[in-house]
Amino acid sequence: MNCYLCDRVMTLQVTWRSIFFNEQGDVVCLRCQTEFERIKIGCPICSAVGDEKCLDCCKWENTEYAGLINSGRSLYRYNPAMKEYLHRYKFLQDVILSEVFVKVLQETLRNEKSVIVPIPMNEEKLKKRTFAQVDRLLDAAGIPYIHLLGKNEVGLGGKSKAERTALQDVFWWNGKPVPEKVLLFDDLYTTGSTLRLAAKVLKEKGAKEIKVVTLIRA
């Protein structure tokens, strides 16, 4: 089989695990895998570089969004390889690339006690993109999730942080019961507005503890 990213032939690795546990082989070659940079240590909320709470997350604590997110982590840095990946996955709509991070997402979310809630897409935008890129990442890894939120027709891209913060009604509750422990999942953490806006709605509707996990920290 060929690597999903560089299209070079990958030699099939037969191991005892692959025979007995029917483990799926990698869809990306070793060389492409090492191009991605895993985050080992970072801000306890957003995984920004450093080993304590980052300046950005501290600033959020002086706003009405204080304390909404109890903890969180991001899995990868937004390096050139990751930018290229996201471009191909989201904008070129190469849906099959949802399988690239299956193992890492399984390791991170398999034993999760909180209910996993993906950040939704706006209906219009979903029709245009033809697939929900955040849901598909979880689907590929076989991670169960429920949708509790809907999204209004506003894109955050290209807006300044002040503008983003001013957008109050981006998300709405879809009426399903909200559990006490929720894990919000998204593909990319940029300013943190999206996740805080979503967390605010869920806390108002009864969530007690909210964790966030994102694939990438921009």
- In the structure encoding, which two tokens stand for residue 104, read together? 């890492």
Say if CB 76 and CB 216 are below 8 A apart: yes
Provide the β-strand partners of residue 77.
Answer: 217
The letter for the amino acid at 13 is: Q
Q: Which is nearer to another protein, 19 or 92 (CB)?
A: 92
Q: Which is nearer to another protein, 113 or 127 (CB)?
A: 127
Verify binding: residue 131, another protein, rule CB under 8 A: yes
Verify binding: residue 12, another protein, rule CB under 8 A: no
Binding letters toward another protein, positions 71-110, x by CB under 8 A? -----------------x---xxxxx--------------
User: How many chain residues interact with another protein (CB under 8 A)?
Assistant: 16
Q: Which is nearer to another protein, 122 or 165 (CB)?
A: 122
> Looking only at residues 21 through 40 of this chain, which bind another protein when binding is defined by CB under 8 A?
31
Q: Choose, by CB under 8 A, the member of 38, 40, 113, 127 that binds another protein.
A: 127
Verify binding: residue 130, another protein, rule CB under 8 A: yes
The letter for the amino acid at 188 is: L
Verify binding: residue 209, another protein, rule CB under 8 A: no
Verify binding: residue 132, another protein, rule CB under 8 A: yes
Long-range contacts (CB closer than 8 Å, 24 or more residues apart) made by 26-30: 26/103, 27/1, 27/3, 27/96, 27/99, 27/100, 27/102, 28/3, 28/4, 28/100, 29/3, 29/5
